[in-house]
Chain A
């Protein structure tokens, strides 16, 4: 496993500590637990993310039971949740805890850490031609801070007063006053501490991704020859490094409000008949701080999926990606605009209407780069020689979902319409389709596509096809009807709608959604089974380049060791998208440009 370091690596890697010695004997502990190999760290993120996804998904299944069957009681629920489901009926307090934790877990722990952590770690060094991340040590620490955050968040589930329950956006005053609700007590403190650890983790990861991409590209890998995955992961890291610190500030101030009696976010409150001493703070201020992260965050979740979909669509259409530079430019535009639209989540907070209209304009501008991306994906597919591998199906599904969910964003981005739609199921439908499910599809596409590189085996195809079709149809069946509920005014974050005459019409629909949700969840477990089963029992990879792809990761051995390439790192002579060119099916990036070759 020992690798000779090329002199070139030494050059980019700083003059000092250029060698992470590969000669030493690896023990179980250094190989699997405290590993500094980016590929192993990626797997750690992925498997932790899968565990979190099961937990977070289970939360939603449980609260969907409540929404689908508000009058029924389920003895198994009492067995499972004890005092939180007396008599087998979910308590309202725990309903809120579940919604909050579902959002927190899926947004941050699965689709941020699980997604970026996995694919940035796995793909960046492999696709740019580096032996490892710039700093393998910080990379390892990034995982362990994430692990610590996870442990704290899990612990918060088991405290006596339950976990945080003020929504994943933790708005004060609910989150700032311990007495405001049962879920505002120690669970909320743990939430904040856990998020602080999470932010450290994402900072360490992000710094590494950025510097690795800037500094450690192999010879010939100019920025404009990088695969779009890398561009997307680069912008994701920049977004994270510049937006998470603002949430950190908000979280620190919130912790002070909770524990030191300050009034950053509190003013003139009466709780349980008692006038609180707090004055002069502003709850809206917290919303600004939160959404300054919150909106970039949705793109932190989406961009990696976009990058991977671009790559997978091109490989499996056997066609160059359409409009490479336009794809990079639109990623860049999204990255900039992401910082300038946060107040579209706050149209109904009493925001100055003029300011509101500025944010409407900026928000709707995002539709432009988004549309460019969509058209380029479609044109890439156009007349392609399409191979419907599971990865490809999920990538196409991603495009479908991004269109469906993006269109409703245009409704919401209009402040006048948003007065009606805000805090209804329309918003739930919007962001689950465009962010939740779409990013999951991007992640699945990535897992199916790069699994052979990760584990040297294939996932089972039959299970994969079942997984894809049930998930795609199921996701639309779950979230499409929610648009109608939202338009009819059904508010989000309600425990029970049975007291409203006007919402009775949705009883059947709610039950239907809950049943489909259960089925979709079950199919995800099928994927989890496939994932772990195939690690040991999957069909072995025999071809080092199973998808006939141009990118560098397929020039490594089937099971690359620490250091990735056995000899020298290959040099790069062209971009990553020479498919079906000059009569050749594909031309890897390592192939020198021929004298009579046509331009792409």
Chain B
């Protein structure tokens, strides 16, 4: 494809060929990603309207300060930075896989697909840990004059405004929208990562079986790559909205 010489003065839009010089599958993928971007957009904008209409919102530096095997290590955002790094790194390996595909180098594609899949799985593992930590954590919350121990779920949020109780500052229940949006949106993103991993595994198997060599091109890897980069890009927005502001 890339090697086909394009004669000067080609009329791209006059029919009989693809105006973007791209196969239908790639164009479909692009439109699908646009559509999916609207789904995420709707979620994130909803989150934004609610978040900025309530008076108190948990401080991400406090909520996300734990690290595996270190407990509440007070390492604000360290773990999520690691997650982000892993995901971005898997995008890099994906680029390399596509590149190897252009060179028709099956071994290379296989190697980088494996790395991409591992990156995806590592990200999902991190997310699982983070969720578990949030849900099972216990934070002192003042409810009806009593101290209770709470984790963060879709129906409760232990990170509300602090009040003085028996000479000590304790937090009260915070807006429950926090858990709902956090788990809802990161969950929806995680679901996308999961689907991406499944797709990548299928692509890996097809590469192993030599399907793409038989076809003479590795375009499927490119399409999977588009999806994977998109999922990565969405994460950047999720990261921004939940962890940074």
Contacts and interface: CB of A to CB of B under 8 A. Distances in A.
Interface string A78-114: 0000000000000000000000000000000000000
Interface stretch (B36-44, B83-91, B106-114, B134-142): B36-44
A279 B50 CA distance: 11
Contacts of B39: 245-246, 248-249
A45 to B, nearest CB: 20
A595 interface: no
Contact of A252 (B17, B181, B188): B188
Given A249-B46, A262-B180, A16 B217 contact: yes
Nearest to B217: A15
Given A245-B38, A249-B39, A208 B155 contact: no
B154 A14 contact: no
* Interface SS majority for chain A: helix
A15 B50 contact: no
Contacts of A207: 28, 31-32, 35
Given A245-B36, A263-B177, A256 B184 contact: yes
B209 to A, nearest CB: 15
Interface string A282-299: 100100010010000000
Interface residues of B, number: 45
B35 A241 contact: yes
Interface in B203-233: 215-217, 219
Interface stretch (B19-27, B71-79, B144-152): B19-27
Interface in A497-553: none
B15 A15 contact: no
A194 B45 CA distance: 25
A134 B24 contact: yes
B15 A285 contact: no
Contacts of A15: 1, 23, 215-217, 219
B176 interface: yes
A253 B184 contact: yes
Contacts of B10: none
Interface string A264-284: 100000000000011111100
* Interface SS majority for chain B: helix
A261 B24 contact: no
Nearest to B39: A245
A292 B38 CA distance: 11
A575 to B, nearest CB: 12
A211 interface: yes
B179 to A, nearest CB: 8
Interface stretch (A220-228, A300-308, A376-384): A220-228
Nearest to A8: B16
Contact of B15 (A135, A222, A256, A261): A222
A572 interface: yes
B34 A280 contact: no
Contact of A282 (B15, B28, B50): B50
B31 A241 contact: yes
A14 B24 contact: yes
Interface of B: 1, 11, 13-20, 22-25, 27-28, 31-32, 34-36, 38-39, 41-43, 46, 49-50, 53-54, 154-155, 175-177, 179-181, 184, 188, 215-217, 219
